[in-house]
Structure 1
């Protein structure tokens, strides 16, 4: 049984009202082990990590105009398509040509191959890499150093990545001497990690691991983590547990002038964990594991609760939908007619209406013919009346003119004498024109010339003869053309009127039957709709009843409450233990940070306090502020001071996990004049004399390096020269 388990049992016992949490320490130890929470403290003892030799070689490809290319034969080189550069050290940003367009040919350029072979044996303490100008190779040395340490290809310029062909970097890790050696092709490494022996002992080469581009990082982590006594850092991010290992630690060994947050390390989400690891409190790994386990359970529980909430909202929505469906079906049923009918009745009505429609059609056809007869009779009557009128006028005119006794000739106005008029019966001549008269007509008292056609004479005689009954046709009434035509028209009109009445009557009966049939069809449709709606209503009521009976879904807790209680209690206990152990250490470290910041040229900062959340408060002159409120130059000084203080604290007290390796990238890039840089380098030397550490400073302000560092501790290229 562990002390941690005993304390967790006490913590759980104080939680009243929950008997599930009453367990013994042995059970708690079993649960802790199952959740990968350490039950014992991990003593943090720093293990020094030092680079003792940096060697790399390859072939530069330079322009023919480059000073180093003078006197060498150029080669035609096909320019490769560049990739986007990502620069680790900011004083050498990559400059690339734009990518090739579709169909564009790769350019052929003349470059001069110039072999290079760089080797340097950095020392303990402060090592400087300087040049008179930027882009002179400082960052390449640091990139090669970190490439060999992390297994990740540092963010070289694309051309330099192609130049490097072989790398050897020798390291000391605690008492061991290791060498990372590999061949490089286009920035892809393949090689070995060798153990050369122990410090001060004979060379005994042993292969510790082999790697290629894919496995390089893993091999370095598996070798470095146990040797440096570094614990894995579990962190719960979003809905996933992430285990941070060697790359996170290695990145914290570099302080970049343009990546100043967080205060410790370079991973914003891991600032607290990195600080706790480097401060060296014994229970930090256990606390990180407990916090991650607790966060994982909370996330799992929250996910289950969210799912149950979503399911409950879905059930409610379904219930509302079903209730609305029931109401809608009832409303539609209420709007349907209650009468009923059958298909046979509807068909009979439709057939009778169809028969009447047929009769109406026949009558319409007959009416059309009868209408034409009426029009014909009307025209005949009109013609008869016209003929009768003409005959009457002719008869009247004949009588009028035959009874005239003109006294003068109507043409020549010659006098018609009485003697001539009296001589007409005897002389048989017209008293006016002296033409011979028709004797037969004269006997009928009709005066007409003998030259007039017989038909005309007959008509005149007939018209002049008084009408009387014909002895041959005694008993028969004479028929008048006009009267006959009028009678025929009246009869035709009567038949038309009769047929129209029949059509109206039959049409009315037909329309009534059609309306009755349509109403029957509507009732049949309504009956079908009623059956459909009744089925809908039954289904909706069944679904609603099922949803009402099921109730709202409750959240099922997927987390064992006992395990959750143990994880929560463990996190509380360990958090207190870490805080109790860490607070006095942070007070000591904060005082050292303030002294270092003052020596680095930030004397206006006082009362600096690094707290347990990896944040920092202070006074700037008379105003209280925080790390985030400082200028970048002040942040840089404080971040370097914090890293140095953590290293110094660890090696001075023999606690902590920082291996004492620190890389400072271009500290003078942030508003740091030569005088302040010199002050910082001098302060770093003073600190390095009292603690085991190795610091690399890369800067284009080479003056302080030349003035303050021994020749073995510096690589400086003056003027326009290159470091390698």
Structure 2
């Protein structure tokens, strides 16, 4: 808790805000303030079983094959296209949720079973397949691997409990990825996509650091370069302080700052466009007014009333008449409503005088349509309400005593009296409005007649055109008000300030912790690279972004991507083993310690080098709690390097499963 409070105080001091502000911002963004050290996350596979029916010319028929894997280095040996890579893909499917790529042989499979230990917990993954798709799957955990091996379904009696079930490939992928993130104590690697949205990379991104990509891949760690994932994987596997939190803080700060910048830019652009529109409209209006004034002056000597005065009078009367017409329409609507209410009150009074059921329902709702479907309530149902005492809405019987009949009659009479008075008042107001409307109509007709006579003059059409243009431009200007500046959002500004300060503070923590780790990491990578056969390797330098510079052959410095494929493979393996060594030395949770390598000899490595690489990798794996699964078509290579119990092989030309 002390570290968490210290982090809050440091962020607050850097952002020059209060600690409460820091807590509120991080809470509103759903980001924890710091994170505890990660739990150990070792991952081991123990048994893979595949069953199905092989078709084709090579050994057709049913098969049921089991592979067992121990610690250290295990080699899968078979001729090319005989199922070696498929084993890696099936392990990947069970643990990653989806295979990296499906081989043609997978369509033979009906069942796939994998037993593994995930962060110390024995787990079983059972897949039923049809036509290369999962039809049902279950993952369960138990007390030990010996019990799990005998089961394809949970058995609570033996302490074997389900973790999840799936009925499709998509469901299995989603659930196994969530399971592995939880048990391996990993968090999504969040990044901003073009500054507009956040993208979260989950377990498949982490698994890329377990199943090495082809040597020609430019990524040092993992199999994806985008969003700086190699560097983020490196930071997680070194357990740098709150590595997952830092990515979230940086991403959210970037998204919020980008959104604010775009909003301000859009507001500024809109202001500039509106200013230009108003300026052009004002210039056009000034020219139109000057033209209208010129035309008005040309007819000033006429004995007739000026066109401008006639037009103004006509416009004023037209506006007054329109207002009066609107007032009359409104009063007519009020009168109709008052009349309708008076008629309903008359009917209601008659009903309560004649019907006990009407008196009972007097104070209830009286809908004209069904409150659910808006259908009109039929007259037959209303008549049944009176005749048969059944509600016109729900048709249920209306029961009760008619004990207040006199009070109901009195209230109904009062309602009728009030509505009659309201109707009369509405009628009086309507008649008064009609009188005023008639008066204005007469004056407007007279003014329009005067204007029509004046328009007969030769210059009237031109004057009318100029007048219309002035009116049009005045109207256009009225709907183009000046736009205000984009309003500041204090909460947004505070959040961006706090998040940026948080990112810088966490970056400082990372840099301080990295100084302790990266010197050891560089030394380990260089030492392992030389052991793995990287001739001439002098030193390496790796940074938190997983950029690796290699010094070799007389202080010649080249980047990782400048290395030949064979050297890239050696360096990738060296980085992962170095992570395990440094993690153990500094007591931090690091790489899960499982490594899948497909056909390393194919990566432009000489025979003598591949012997050296595998020999050293075997020794390093046993010494550093690393489980490595390698495939090769070189039968002699495997037997030269490994004892028989570390080799799973098929006779030359025969399938591995």
SS for the counterpart of 1:554 is coil
Q: Give the direction of change, closer, same or farther, for the CA distance of 1:656–1:327 in structure 2 (3 Å limit).
A: farther
Whole-angstrom CA distance in 1 between matches of 2:512 and 2:505: 11
1:216 corresponds to 2:149:
no
1:247 corresponds to 2:179:
no
Q: Give the direction of change, closer, same or farther, for the CA distance of 1:304–1:614 in structure 2 (3 Å limit).
A: same
Q: 1:13-24 counterparts in 2 under 5 A?
A: 13=13, 21-23=16-18
Deviation at 1:338, TM superposition (A): 5.8
2:562 to 623, 629, 634: 629
> What corresponds to 2:528 in structure 1?
596
Given that 1:660 and 1:692 are in contact with CA atoms closer than 8 Å, whether structure 2 keeps it comes out as yes
> What corresponds to 1:31 in structure 2?
25
Whole-angstrom CA distance in 2 between matches of 1:2 and 1:300: 35
Whole-angstrom CA distance in 2 between matches of 1:201 and 1:115: 26
> What corresponds to 1:286 in structure 2?
245
Deviation at 1:141, TM superposition (A): 0.6
1:609 to 536, 541, 544: 541
Whole-angstrom CA distance in 2 between matches of 1:27 and 1:305: 24
Whole-angstrom CA distance in 2 between matches of 1:632 and 1:330: 80
Whole-angstrom CA distance in 2 between matches of 1:333 and 1:634: 86
Given that 2:107 and 2:132 are in contact with CA atoms closer than 8 Å, whether structure 1 keeps it comes out as yes
Residues 538-578 of structure 1, C-alpha deviations (whole Å, 9 max, x = no match): 3355456x33xx5x523533753333222222111111111
Whole-angstrom CA distance in 2 between matches of 1:538 and 1:562: 43
Deviation at 1:7, TM superposition (A): 4.5
CA RMSD of aligned residues (A): 2.9
TM-score (structure 1 length as normaliser): 0.63
> What corresponds to 1:165 in structure 2?
110
Whole-angstrom CA distance in 2 between matches of 1:243 and 1:696: 29
Whole-angstrom CA distance in 2 between matches of 1:630 and 1:192: 43
> What corresponds to 1:177 in structure 2?
122
Deviation at 1:335, TM superposition (A): 8.6
Whole-angstrom CA distance in 2 between matches of 1:668 and 1:167: 28
> What corresponds to 2:387 in structure 1?
none
Deviation at 1:178, TM superposition (A): 1.1
Q: Give the direction of change, closer, same or farther, for the CA distance of 1:540–1:327 in structure 2 (3 Å limit).
A: farther
Given that 1:233 and 1:244 are in contact with CA atoms closer than 8 Å, whether structure 2 keeps it comes out as yes
Gaps of 5+ in 1: 16-20, 69-112, 345-518
Residues 415-456 of structure 1, C-alpha deviations (whole Å, 9 max, x = no match): xxxxxxxxxxxxxxxxxxxxxxxxxxxxxxxxxxxxxxxxxx
1:123 corresponds to 2:70:
yes
Gaps of 5+ in 2: 149-157, 305-454
Q: Give the direction of change, closer, same or farther, for the CA distance of 1:683–1:559 in structure 2 (3 Å limit).
A: farther
Deviation at 1:296, TM superposition (A): 2.9
Residues 506-545 of structure 1, C-alpha deviations (whole Å, 9 max, x = no match): xxxxxxxxxxxxx98752321221221221343355456x
Residues 198-251 of structure 1, C-alpha deviations (whole Å, 9 max, x = no match): 368896422222112232122212322232222232322221122322222123
Deviation at 1:176, TM superposition (A): 2.2
SS for the counterpart of 2:582 is helix
Given that 2:11 and 2:498 are in contact with CA atoms closer than 8 Å, whether structure 1 keeps it comes out as no
Whole-angstrom CA distance in 2 between matches of 1:11 and 1:167: 51
Q: 1:110-509 counterparts in 2 under 5 A?
A: 113-132=60-79, 134-157=80-103, 159-189=104-134, 190-198=136-144, 204-213=159-168, 214-238=170-194, 239-258=196-215, 260-268=217-225, 269=227, 270-326=229-285, 329=288, 339-340=298-299
Given that 1:125 and 1:685 are in contact with CA atoms closer than 8 Å, whether structure 2 keeps it comes out as yes
Residues 136-162 of structure 1, C-alpha deviations (whole Å, 9 max, x = no match): 2111111111101112144213x4232
Given that 1:337 and 1:526 are in contact with CA atoms closer than 8 Å, whether structure 2 keeps it comes out as no
Q: Give the direction of change, closer, same or farther, for the CA distance of 1:187–1:308 in structure 2 (3 Å limit).
A: same
Given that 1:47 and 1:229 are in contact with CA atoms closer than 8 Å, whether structure 2 keeps it comes out as yes
SS for the counterpart of 2:634 is coil
Whole-angstrom CA distance in 2 between matches of 1:658 and 1:154: 20
Given that 1:48 and 1:693 are in contact with CA atoms closer than 8 Å, whether structure 2 keeps it comes out as no
SS for the counterpart of 2:253 is helix
1:699 to 632, 635, 650: 632
> What corresponds to 1:531 in structure 2?
467
Whole-angstrom CA distance in 2 between matches of 1:637 and 1:336: 92
> What corresponds to 1:374 in structure 2?
none
Given that 1:308 and 1:555 are in contact with CA atoms closer than 8 Å, whether structure 2 keeps it comes out as no
> What corresponds to 2:617 in structure 1?
684
> What corresponds to 1:463 in structure 2?
none
SS for the counterpart of 1:648 is helix
> What corresponds to 2:332 in structure 1?
none
Residues 350-388 of structure 1, C-alpha deviations (whole Å, 9 max, x = no match): xxxxxxxxxxxxxxxxxxxxxxxxxxxxxxxxxxxxxxx
Q: Give the direction of change, closer, same or farther, for the CA distance of 1:46–1:650 in structure 2 (3 Å limit).
A: farther
Deviation at 1:589, TM superposition (A): 1.1
SS for the counterpart of 1:720 is coil
Q: Give the direction of change, closer, same or farther, for the CA distance of 1:206–1:573 in structure 2 (3 Å limit).
A: same
Residues 11-60 of structure 1, C-alpha deviations (whole Å, 9 max, x = no match): 54466xxxxx442x355334333333333442134322111001111112
> What corresponds to 2:313 in structure 1?
none
SS for the counterpart of 2:179 is helix
> What corresponds to 1:485 in structure 2?
none
> What corresponds to 1:675 in structure 2?
608
Q: Give the direction of change, closer, same or farther, for the CA distance of 1:160–1:333 in structure 2 (3 Å limit).
A: farther
Whole-angstrom CA distance in 2 between matches of 1:325 and 1:275: 65
SS for the counterpart of 1:255 is coil
The range that moved more, 625-634 or 314-323, is 314-323
